[in-house]
Structure formats: structure tokens, C-alpha cells
Amino acid sequence: MALTAKQQRFVDEYLIDLNATQAALRAGYSEKTSYSIGQENLNKPEIAQIIQKAMDARSERTEITADYVLAGIQEIAERCLQRSPVMEGYGKERTQATDGEGRHVWAFDATGANKAFENLGKHLKLFTDKVEHSGKIALEQLTDEELAAKIAAYSEGG
């Protein structure tokens, strides 16, 4: 099924910043419905497939892969922890940076290290968010069948 002109514009706009609400607004949907239309469009299989193909093509074209990103995060973490010297230049001209007195430069950046390790941890799913429910769930008013259906829905991720 071919996309409408508005849906194609949504796809093009979404690829700019991966923000479905803003993409819907820029594609011409109303401000009132932009959030729901954005989410709805992302869940349409034909739109999701076109977006994924475009993202895959961009990744191939730019040679930015998950491995590239993870290697970059790892390099940032190591630099921030002074595990690697600060380097200057490119290619064969690359040398270790020195201060005004000829001493090698090592920079420590705790904030950068923390952020890099946080991103690596998220990628490796090392952290889980704790969710607290502070409300009453009225299960006593449900029939056995309704309760069984709710339990089944929750166990399936619903």
C-alpha cells in the first residue's frame, strides 16, 4: 500500500530528529492530534518498514553502526578515566598532546565517564527501573474470568 503525501512527509520529517510528535506537526497534522497521529503512524507496519529501511540505508551510507557507537562510548569512558592520553592531529600526524612545558596531557572528566558508563550499561541492560504503584487496584469486584484475563494480559506484557 502506497503512503499518502502526508504520511510520506511524516516519514521524511521523522527521520530528521526521530520525534514523532514534531514530525506530525511539520507534516501538517494539527497540534491537537500530533502526538496521537505520530504514535499511530509509527505503529503502522508500512510506515515503520519505510522508516527502518531509510535508517538502515543511512547507517550504511554513514558507516555508523552499533559497534561504531559503542566503540566511541568506550573511548570516551577511557579518556575520561585517564586510561588513554589526550591525542592531537589525525592519521600519521597524531601525537600525544603536551602542555606549554612539554608534559603529556591527561584529562579527567568524571561527568563524561559517568555518562559513558551509563550509556554502556543501558545498552547491556544492566540497570532496571523500579516502578512503584501507589494506588488501589479493585480486584475484588472482578469475576474469576475477568481476573484471569487481566493476569494473562499482564503476563504477556500488557
pLDDT per position as a tens digit, 32-81: 999 999 999 999 999 999 999 999 999 889 888 888 888 988 888 887 88
Residue 154 lies in a domain: no
Residue 14: pLDDT over 90:
yes
pLDDT at residue 64 in the model: 81
Name the DSSP class of 93.
Answer: G
Least confident of 1-5, 23-27, 35-39, 79-83: 79-83
Q: What is the mean pLDDT of the segment spanning 21-42?
A: 95
Residue 87 lies in a domain: yes
Give per-residue burial for 103-130: e unless 16+ CB within 10 Å, then b: eeeeeeeeeebeebbebeeeeeeeeeee
Radius of gyration of the CA atoms of the chain, in A: 24
Instruction: Provide CB contacts within 8 A for 74, sequence distance 6+.
Output: 116, 120
Instruction: Provide CB contacts within 8 A for 97, sequence distance 6+.
Output: 85, 86, 87, 88, 104, 105
pLDDT at residue 7 in the model: 96
Residue 10 and residue 49 in one domain = yes
Q: What is the pLDDT of residues 88-142, one digit of tens each?
A: 888 888 888 888 888 887 767 788 888 888 888 887 777 777 777 666 666 667 7
CA atoms within a 13 Å half-sphere pointing along the CA-CB vector of 96 = 11
pTM, two decimal places: 0.52
Q: Which domain holds residue 113?
A: 66-123
- As for how many domains the chain has, the answer is 2
List 98's β-bridge partners, or say none: 104
Residue 11: pLDDT over 60:
yes
Residue 25 lies in a domain: yes
List 96's β-bridge partners, or say none: 87
Residue 36 lies in a domain: yes
Q: What is the pLDDT of residues 137-156, one digit of tens each?
A: 666 677 888 888 878 877 77
Residue 55 and residue 84 in one domain = no
pLDDT at residue 158 in the model: 54
